[in-house]
Amino acid sequence: MLIQDMDKDTPVRAGHAVAVTDLTKEFGSFTALSELNFHIDNGEIFGLLGPNGSGKTTTLNIIAGLSVPTTGKVAVYGLNPREQSAAARRLMGVVPQETALYEELTAEKNLTFHAELFGIPRRERAEQVKRMLELAQLSDRAKSRVSSFSGGMKRRLAIARALLHDPKLVFLDEPTLGVDVHSRNMIWDYIRKTRDEGRSILLTTNYLEEANALCDRIAIIDHGRLVVLDTPTSLKTKYGKSVIEITLHTDVTEGLDRTMQTVPGVQSVDRQGPTLRLSLGDVDSGAVLPHLLQLLDQEGSKTQRLSLREPSLEEVFLALTGRGLRD
């Protein structure tokens, strides 16, 4: 379906699925979102990462046209989701935080009902529903009532439902909240496949691992403000640190501690009994390790254990907000 077919007068901004400009949302005297600015590229998985109550769902609801901004504006493929709601709605597929399925209907009926709602022609409906059930790996449960499904199965069905009318932009609000690892992996694959089909995805999560594994870019929000926006790799390189931990057979001497501090790339050294912890600056750990091993050898220090920890998004979050995601 061509966007131009639906509204010939509305220019479609190439490259941007979503543009958010100076978005502020107040609930009475409480400011839930404050001056948010960002855009989502066509064909990317964009993550909104933040602790509970930071404003993720509020942002998503406004972009999806389910809630109005107090000030500022959003555009979805150049459309105003409130004023051009019919056209915008056809471009979007929403999986809300609380998966609103009809519990007393079967999986197949839930999808068929949605297909009717979105005006999918009768002759295409059955085929499309079948395809979506296969994608969600629920074909064998097509005739079962949703009330008998596990949390993970319901999530998968909700995602299948959101994709049924072939949207260009998919909203996933905490897609793996409370599901087991098996369903989580299935959902992750499903999300990647959806992106690879050329769709754009806005995903909210408060799982750092999920943001790291899935997102092309991440916006960290805290108290309704955008803290940072970048790729997971850049965030980790800019705000995280690699740490090398070396345990020797004997206690670390002050001399060795001092020598280690002279190694290019080593930012700080922490010594405790036989263990050295070296925090690296903005360097590749692979460039530092050979040098370290050579020095240890020269000093006659025998290594018992050596481990390398890559920078994590946990650290990034801590560095930028001063606390952990679940404090």
52 binds, among ligand ATP, Mg ion, none (CB under 5 to 8 A by kind): ligand ATP
Answer whether 103's CB lies under 8 Å from 146's CB.
yes
Answer whether 202's CB lies under 8 Å from 46's CB.
yes
Answer whether 198's CB lies under 8 Å from 207's CB.
no
27 binds, among Mg ion, ligand ATP, none (CB under 5 to 8 A by kind): ligand ATP
Q: Does 55 bind ligand ATP (CB under 6 A)?
A: yes
Tokens in use for 90?
């056809």
* Contact range with ligand ATP by CB under 6 A, out of 56-64, 75-83, 149-157, 207-215: 56-64
Which three-class secondary structure state does DSSP give residue 312? coil
CB of 57 to ligand ATP, least distance (A): 3
* Contact range with ligand ATP by CB under 6 A, out of 48-56, 68-76, 87-95, 261-269: 48-56
Name, in order, each residue with C-beta under 8 angstroms of 173's C-beta and a sequence gap of 6 or more.
56, 57, 60, 94, 95, 96, 97, 204
- In this complex, which beta carbon is closest to ligand ATP, that of residue 66 or of residue 289? 66
**Residue 222's closest CA among 322, 321, 323?**
321
**Contacting ligand ATP (CB under 6 A), which of 29, 52, 262, 298?**
52
Q: Does 128 bind ligand ATP (CB under 6 A)?
A: no
Query: Residue 311 and residue 158: Cα distance in Å, rounded?
Result: 34
CB of 35 to Mg ion, least distance (A): 20
- In this complex, which beta carbon is closest to ligand ATP, that of residue 53 or of residue 273? 53
Q: Which residues pair with 23 in a beta bridge?
A: 36
Say if strands 200-205 and 217-222 run parallel, antiparallel, or are unpaired: unpaired
CB of 239 to ligand ATP, least distance (A): 21
Count of residues that bind ligand ATP according to CB under 6 A: 13
Interacting positions 5-64 with Mg ion (CB under 5 A): 56-57
Helix (H) or strand (E) holding 263: none
CB of 97 to ligand ATP, least distance (A): 6
The interface mask with Mg ion, positions 80-99, x = CB under 5 A, is -----------------x--
Q: Does 47 bind ligand ATP (CB under 6 A)?
A: no
Q: Report angle CA 127, 174, 178 to the nearest 5 degrees.
A: 95
- In this complex, which beta carbon is closest to ligand ATP, that of residue 225 or of residue 271? 225
Query: Residue 239 and residue 226: Cα distance in Å, rounded?
Result: 16
- In this complex, which beta carbon is closest to ligand ATP, that of residue 58 or of residue 301? 58
- How many residues appear in the chain? 327
**Contacting ligand ATP (CB under 6 A), which of 15, 53, 273, 324?**
53
Tokens in use for 146?
């949703």
- In this complex, which beta carbon is closest to Mg ion, that of residue 97 or of residue 234? 97
- In this complex, which beta carbon is closest to Mg ion, that of residue 57 or of residue 183? 57
Count of residues that bind Mg ion according to CB under 5 A: 3
Tokens in use for 138?
């629920």
Kindly provide the b/e burial profile for residues 283-313, where b requires at least 16 CB atoms within 10 angstroms of the residue's own CB.
Answer: eebeebbeebeeebeeeebeeeeeeeeebbb
- In this complex, which beta carbon is closest to Mg ion, that of residue 97 or of residue 144? 97
CB of 56 to Mg ion, least distance (A): 5
Query: Residue 316 and residue 322: Cα distance in Å, rounded?
Result: 10
Site residues, ligand ATP (CB under 6 A): 27, 30, 32, 50, 52-58, 97, 206
Site residues, Mg ion (CB under 5 A): 56-57, 97
